[in-house]
Each structure stands twice: as C-alpha cells, then as structure tokens.
Structure 1
C-alpha cells in the first residue's frame, strides 16, 4: 500500500489534479503538463505539510491547551519542538470517497471525540477541475450535542511551472501582519503592513525573503466582480498561479521552505479562516451549533504572461 493510500485523480481536458486517501491532501495540480503546485511521490509522506487539510483548526494551538465550556483541553503535541498542537486533526486520517466523477472527487472523514477535542465533527473536501483550474470546497458539520468552535485551512505550495521560486514574486491580498514570538505564537495585535517589509499588496521578489508569517485583513479588491480574496506567485514574464479564496479566508500563513524535495526553496500560501492560536483567542472562529454545516471555498488558477512584464 502507498504511504498516502489510494490516489484520486481528476481531469478536465489538460487540467489534472490528484488527491490522496491519507489526509485528503492535494498532491498534484497541473495544466498542459505544467506543474502549478509543488508535488511529491505517492510513496512518501507529504513533505513540509504539502497539500494538507487543516481542520478543525489551522496553524498552532499554544502548548496544545485550550478551554471548552469551562473545561481544560489538552491536545497531542504534534509540533514537539515548539510544544504545540499544529494543523488540526485530519492529516493522518483516511478520507473516504463519497462522490466521484471524471473531473471531481469528494472525500469525507470523521473527527471523533478524543483527548483535547470534545465534540465530533464530520469534514468533507471536494476537489473539482474545470477549464479555469481547480476549486476546493471544505465543509464541516457538527455531529455532537454542543456548539463547537472550528477553523479551516489548507497548506498548498503554489509554483509557476519550472521557474525557480527565487525568480518569482509574491502578491498577497493582506493589509495586516500578526507579530509572533520565538515560538511562532501571537505576540500582540495585528499591525498594518503599509510601509513595512511585509507589504506584498504589490508583487515583491521572493529571493532572500524568509517567512513563517500570518497575515490578516485578507479581503477582495473593491472592484473584484467575484468578490474573492486573491494571492499569487508570479514569474518574471507575469505568468503565474493565483490562489483565490472566499472572504471567510480572512487570514493567510506564508511559509518559505528551504528544503522541499527536488526544489529546494518553495513557498506555501495557506488560506485560513482564523489566525494562529484561535482556539485560545477566539479570533474569527466559526461556532457550529449541533447539526449545522459550514462550507468554505478556495482554488488555484494559472495566469498567462503579461505583456511588458519584467
């Protein structure tokens, strides 16, 4: 059996994506054979959390501790070096296909009551490709008898074909940055990015940039007809890949990995519905009442070259 389990391939014309049974992760996305996502072999564990589904919370929970209905909770410390719980509870679950077509697959997993997590939730993720690219739809349903706070995120590493990461530029629809301490925990309120090194609202070179940083204030441009948040990685000729998301993804974590297998430098753009340690701060959590389901969408779209780009 492959480390990542069954592989779920979907296609529309020359647009192709592959998701995995273990973790429900997005392992591959390409158009015309050109990769727009850092990929990895089906026979290895996902490197650098590539493609992970981050539910029922994204990012970190300080010391794995939080409080639910007045009761202290202790999650497993899945980031032991920093003594945190990280990236939710679904990364190593087996996700079962509940609906498949040639160009889409919907996977489901049950997050049961366990140490540190007191309410069962059911998660599904639907990957669908069309002529424009990839759409990812998360749903989370409260299967318990008490209202539960949840957050959702994803961990893709967009890339522009075979262009080196350090030759690309990064654009973020983020107006604030969250200060963190040496343990990558929030260390104060958000600060405006304007006038700082963290202002990527206009594309900036990735070379020499090192980030493991949460950005907030992610919002659609006032003129956006689809009312979507839009981040992008861009090559020198203006071609690239856009990561779009619904406004519920008001946060994005950007991580520059230095050791992605076969690539070296790679950049993760992680759409999140809430910031790091939200189970403690409460910031932007979604509170699901029993039987209630919430859905969240994001996706990837290749961008053509721009005339006159440098």
Structure 2
C-alpha cells in the first residue's frame, strides 16, 4: 500500500472517497520517526494499514490486511480492520435483556447477531480529528437510542496512537464510551494480521502463544455453551508457543465447529480483574523472528484463523485473501455475556465511563526479551 512520502512524524488526513450515500471518508496517516506507519479510515474507525520498516529498512512491511477503496469495505462482510460494536462477537438469537426488558438486535437473516448487528459501528462514518503532539487520531461516534435495537444513546470514542518502542513500534487503541441509559458495551478492533507480511502466504507456520488456561467451547452456531473449559490436552492449548497449523486440521469437535479456530480464550491475567494498564496476553512469531505482541485489559481474546476467507476479496495491493492468509486477535468481553451472567457484567450505566485499551506491539527479530514467556 502506497502512503504519502513525507517523513514528518505525526498525523495527517487525506480524502478517501465517499460512501454509497455520499458521505465523505477520510484516511488518516500516522507516522513515527523510525518509519512505522498506520492508516486509519473514518469509515468504520478502520485500521487499514500498519507497516514497519523491517530489519533491512526499505519501503516497509505491511502487517494488516486493508482493502483498496470504500466500495470494497461497503461490499464486504469480514470486518477488515473495523471498530466493531456496540457489542463485539455474537449475541444468541440477537436477543438480550437489561433490567428485565428484552431487546432485539437485527441478525441480517443469520441465526445470531454478530458485532453489533447488520449495521453496526463498522458501517458508520466516524468524526475524526488529530491528537496534537502525537502520531494519533481521535474518532467519535454517537449511536442513538434504539440503534440496532440497543437501548440508550451511546457516545463512543476511539484513539489510535502509533509510537516507536525499543526494537520496533506499537499501535495503542484507547476506547471510551458513555451512555444515558443502561446498555451492553464491548468494543474491539477486527484487524487481520500476518506478521510475515500481507501477501506472504499462510499463517499456519507462525507460532502463537496465548496466556490462557481456559477457553469457551461453542455450539453449532458458535455461541458459547457456558463452560470455561481447560485448554490442556486440546488443540486450544497455546500456553507455550505452538505452530498455528499444528492441530488445525484435527478432528476435534470444537475445531470442526469453527472450521478452524474461531473461539474466545479466557485470559489468565484479566478475567475477573481490572488491571490499571494493559498486560501482555498473546504473541505471534513469524518465520523470520518478527513478533506481534497483544496487550489488553479485556477478559477475553477471540482468536480467528481466517477460516471463512474465500479468496473472493482482494487486499489493497491486489492479493486475494484466502483461508489462513491472516489471523485476528480480538480483545473483548466474553461473547454472549449479555445472556450469560457468569461471563461478567457488561452493562454500562449512566454516570459510568467505559474504558479499555489494547496495544499491538511489533518487535523485530532479536528485540524480544524472554520475560513472560
């Protein structure tokens, strides 16, 4: 993906076309002194690009699957890089109750509601502005009472900040929401990553570690059964680094249910806790040693191995995006928590401020210390 040639650190917008309804879309480029770059679209609060110079410098290595234009984002249903909400992941039957009152989220003809309904936050154009003094952009969205069936007016804010760190760069995503009536909230980012570079092929040979001794088994509709099951002895055990494809094609019933990995891991450090700062919960290591670290304060991590990517979508550089060409590591509340109280309270009430932070940190080969491994 080609970006402006300026070497100035900071944030700058450019036009990125218009929606089918005629609303203009901006693309914001974030740059650091090292040459790391990110592109954020006002459409969907979308992370379109994250590139790093790489060990040999040069034009940069693209790590996030981005689409070429607004029409591609409007046509797609795979949430490439989008901010999803009001409630990430699945809600059983598109139904939930708050304080004894039932609410329904449109399912778009599917069995369950996904990522906030058929016209969720990924379909909206957010207001965007520069954050002074940083390579950062702030996006704001007001979701009215009854939007996709959710109660109360919700004001949401997402800030993307790109910085250099020792050995690499990191993208920090800070979320904030307030509401004037009780409503469930769980925002996340749905970026598809390939730590070896987008277009380099499958992620199956990359090694994944997730700091979680439990995961959520699902039914045929990918709704959690309610069990917090141990990963030990299953293909879901990534407590030590393991090749993603090592057990991807085994006949385990849960792998078959998701046609691969499409499950939520219950994070050891954050489930039932409220850490003041995000903690390291996952790492992906590529063939050349580059590492993507995920830090969060959320209780769950949805690992999706790109099972339903069919090659019919092409990325911004013309590569067809196929099954296991990229993966998602979505930090979030546990899926269907609106209907399963044991998964934690996910209702935001008037006077409260819902906050969350996720960090995607990219470290080049040799830069990673063994701490936390």
TM bin, normalised by shorter chain, reads 0.7 to 0.9
Of the candidates 262, 282, 286, which is equivalent to residue 231 of structure 1?
282
Of the candidates 334, 348, 360, which is equivalent to residue 275 of structure 1?
334
CA contact (8 A) 2:196 2:286 kept: no
Alignment of 1:20-169 (within 5 A): 20-32=41-53, 33-43=60-70, 44-45=72-73, 48-78=78-108, 80-81=109-110, 83-88=111-116, 89-101=120-132, 103-114=135-146, 116-132=149-165, 133-142=170-179, 144=180, 146-162=181-197, 163-164=200-201, 165-169=203-207
Deviations 1:47-73 (A, max 9, x none): 621212122211011111111222221
- Give distance in 1, aligned partners of 2:345 and 2:61: 36
- Per the alignment, residue 13 of structure 2 pairs with none
CA contact (8 A) 1:36 1:302 kept: no
- Give distance in 1, aligned partners of 2:194 and 2:224: 28
Q: Does 2:244 correspond to 1:206? A: yes
Q: Offset of 1:106 from its aligned partner?
A: 0.3
CA contact (8 A) 1:38 1:157 kept: yes
- Give distance in 2, aligned partners of 1:280 and 1:177: 18
Q: Offset of 1:19 from its aligned partner?
A: 1.0
Of the candidates 6, 11, 17, which is equivalent to residue 38 of structure 2?
17
Q: Secondary structure at the match of 2:303?
A: strand
Q: Does 2:223 correspond to 1:185? A: yes
The two structures have a TM-score, normalised by structure 2, of 0.74
Deviations 1:164-210 (A, max 9, x none): 31221111122211111110011231111122210111111122622
Gaps of 5+ in 2: 1-16, 54-59, 249-259, 271-276, 368-373
RMSD: 2.4
- Give distance in 1, aligned partners of 2:345 and 2:37: 33
- Per the alignment, residue 171 of structure 1 pairs with 209
CA contact (8 A) 2:98 2:182 kept: no
- Give distance in 2, aligned partners of 1:10 and 1:276: 31
Q: Larger Rg: 1 or 2?
A: 2
Q: Which has the higher strand share?
A: 1
Q: Does 2:270 correspond to 1:242? A: no
Q: Offset of 1:218 from its aligned partner?
A: 4.0
- Give distance in 1, aligned partners of 2:145 and 2:300: 27
Q: Secondary structure at the match of 1:27?
A: strand
Residues 126, 303 of structure 1: CA spacing in aligned structure 2 closer, same or farther, 3 A cutoff?
A: same
Q: Secondary structure at the match of 1:63?
A: helix
Q: Secondary structure at the match of 1:109?
A: strand
The two structures have a TM-score, normalised by structure 1, of 0.88
- Give distance in 2, aligned partners of 1:285 and 1:40: 35
Q: Offset of 1:158 from its aligned partner?
A: 2.1
Q: Offset of 1:238 from its aligned partner?
A: 2.7
The number of residue pairs the alignment matches comes to 297
Q: Secondary structure at the match of 1:280?
A: coil
Q: Secondary structure at the match of 1:5?
A: strand
